[in-house]
Amino acid sequence: MKLPRLNSPNLWRDSITTGLAILAVFETALAISAISLDCVWGDYNWVIKLLLVLGLFFLIVAIVFLAKYYKAKRGVSLKIRGIKVNIRQGDIFKGAGWKVIAFNEFFDTTVDDIVIAHNTINGVFIDYHVEDLDDLKNAITNAPDNPKLKKRTRDGKIVYPLGRIITYKNYMLLAFTHFDNNEAHLSQKDYEDCLRIMWTEISRTYANKPIFIPLLGGGITRFDGTPNKSKSDLLKCMLCTLRTSLVNINQPITILLTEEAIEEINIYEMKGVK
């Protein structure tokens, strides 16, 4: 079993607060029961009594810290402008609601480990969850145009603005990355702008159903000028752009992480992102 990381200010703060509350309840219970502290601690001098109290307090804090930490590993829930957001490990294809699937700006559907890799969510979606590929292509081609997110043509191919969503059955297909020379990429600014547009698009199309989203950018996507983008930074960016997007979504949003991402992200600290 891996030891928990200690660099978690929110977790320490909450654990200390809970520890103080438990001690206060203990002291109140003694007072109500008319039990003297001398009956509890015996005839020790004040230094020993102080050390015993501090020892008990630190023991309580340690127990609370571990309990909260391992509970958080199973997932946390928070509210962002009244929107319930769940963060946990899980398989997006098992979500009972809308499932957001990231595509490139062309909404390519060729899974060949060049355009789309078989082991990505995009690849798994097309390989195992699309019964009729032509039906998917037609849904993309015939999707109603969005006046605010107009598609354009480049080199004979239709290009969609990043953040544009096309619905297909129980899926929200998201134009997420640029695609050049067989490489999916975007800049930090593109990423933030895409997320803000995505939240607006989700608000427009979600039809009062829960939404399930993977950690966007946590796979093989390359960030221009940023060689290493931590999964923690990606998750914080998703939460912060939801907060600043000012959209109104009345159903829970669940951000699903892989086992690797859960181990890398200090998930309890995400409760501090409001």
207 and 255 in a single domain? The answer is yes
**Amino acid, single-letter form, for residue 34:** A
Name the residue range of residue 231's domain. 76-272
204 and 260 in a single domain? The answer is yes
24, 47, 72: which is the final residue of a domain? 72
Instruction: Tell me which residue of 57, 29, 55 sits closest to 44, measured CA to CA.
Output: 55
115 and 194 in a single domain? The answer is yes
Number of domains in the chain: 2
50, 72, 94: which is the final residue of a domain? 72
Instruction: Tell me which residue of 235, 230, 231, 229 sits closest to 253, measured CA to CA.
Output: 235
C-alpha span between 123 and 222 (Å, rounded): 17
pLDDT tens, residue by residue, 41-67: 666 676 777 788 788 889 988 898 888
18 and 113 in a single domain? The answer is no
pLDDT tens, residue by residue, 113-165: 999 999 999 999 999 999 999 999 999 999 998 889 999 998 889 999 999 99
135 and 211 in a single domain? The answer is yes
Does residue 206 lie in a domain region? yes
Does residue 207 lie in a domain region? yes
Give backbone dihedrals phi and psi of 96, rounded to 5 degrees, phi first: -95, 80
84 and 44 in a single domain? The answer is no
38 and 86 in a single domain? The answer is no
39, 72, 105: which is the final residue of a domain? 72
67 and 127 in a single domain? The answer is no
pLDDT tens, residue by residue, 67-117: 888 877 788 999 999 999 999 999 999 999 999 999 999 999 999 999 999
